[in-house]
Amino acid sequence: MIAAFCLAPAVALFAAFWLLPMARLAALPAAGGWAAYAAVLTEPRYLRSLLQTTGLSLAVTAAALLLAAGVGLYLGRRRFAGRRLLLSVLTLPLSFPGVVVAFFVILIGGRQGPVASISESLFGERITFAYGFAGLFLAYLYFSLPRAVAAFTAAAETLEPQLEEAARSLGASRWQVAVDVWLPALAPTAMASGAMIFATAMGAFGTAFTLASRFEVLPITIYNEFTNYANFKTAASLSLALGLMTWAVLFIAQRVAARPAGAVA
């Protein structure tokens, strides 16, 4: 009885703020039949937006994991003066919202930024990169790296130096040590961090809203559909597609990361 009384507020909140909105979201495209649910795959504009968003998210995930793994291994395996300060500085981007991060990119690569001024002096043309794929990539990478660096640093701190020493004593090269010792130990961290980076990049809105004037991504497409065109059915369909895709990536990553080493699916 006491347990039921304690669970009641949580169940009520879950039903009010997740179950009911999700049910409404799933039911909105029903009037248009299955074609409304499949709009993201059948309409060229929506499909292009989905593919662009997915490609951008994959690129950001790959770059963030590579950079974070290198930085995390270095910081996790070494002790030096100022290490804690460096770690705190590297996590500083977490304190900025997406709009501020986008503003940083505009300050560098926008129409009034130094890149445009220098390119005009050299080539007679103001070159900007803030409002397309490159600007979004840099902005997403900027706010994705701190989390990944922190995760890889923590994982690298748990690496057993005896394993690396044993591999080297057996004649393993630096590359073989990386593949046989570091990679298996860091794989769960890479899987979990990569899934979170991908999901965050797929759903990022504030940064995209500020920068995506030349490169449309799915959150902006959804926003335009229900705000500018009052096309709630299509917006709901696109939202479902985005949610299912990111949920699938997170679910698969969780299952793979939780699988014991050497387990067979």
| Surface-to-core class of residue 85, CB atoms within 10 Å of its CB (0-12 exposed, 13-18 middle, 19+ buried) | exposed
The residue type found at 262 is G
pLDDT band at 264 (very low <50, low <70, confident <90, very high): very low
Bigger pLDDT: 136 vs 22 = 136
Bigger pLDDT: 146 vs 13 = 146
pLDDT at 263 over 60: no
Range of weakest confidence among 6-15, 169-178, 215-224: 169-178
Q: How far apart are CA 30 and CA 150, in angstroms?
A: 44
Predicted pLDDT at 259 = 66
pLDDT at 23 over 80: yes
- How many Å separate Cα 125 from the centre of its chain? 33
Predicted pLDDT at 262 = 47
Question: Torsion-angle region of residue 231: left (phi > 0), alpha (psi -120 to 50) or beta?
Answer: beta
The percentage of residues in the chain with a pLDDT greater than 90, rounded to a whole number, is: 45
Side-chain-side CA neighbours of 193 within 13 Å: the count stands at: 30
**Which of 58, 34, 38, 55 shows the shortest CA–CA distance to 46?**
38
pLDDT digits (tens, 9 = 90+) for 135-175: 999 999 999 999 899 999 988 888 877 777 777 776 777 77
Side-chain-side CA neighbours of 227 within 13 Å: the count stands at: 6
Predicted pLDDT at 265 = 40
Bigger pLDDT: 241 vs 91 = 241
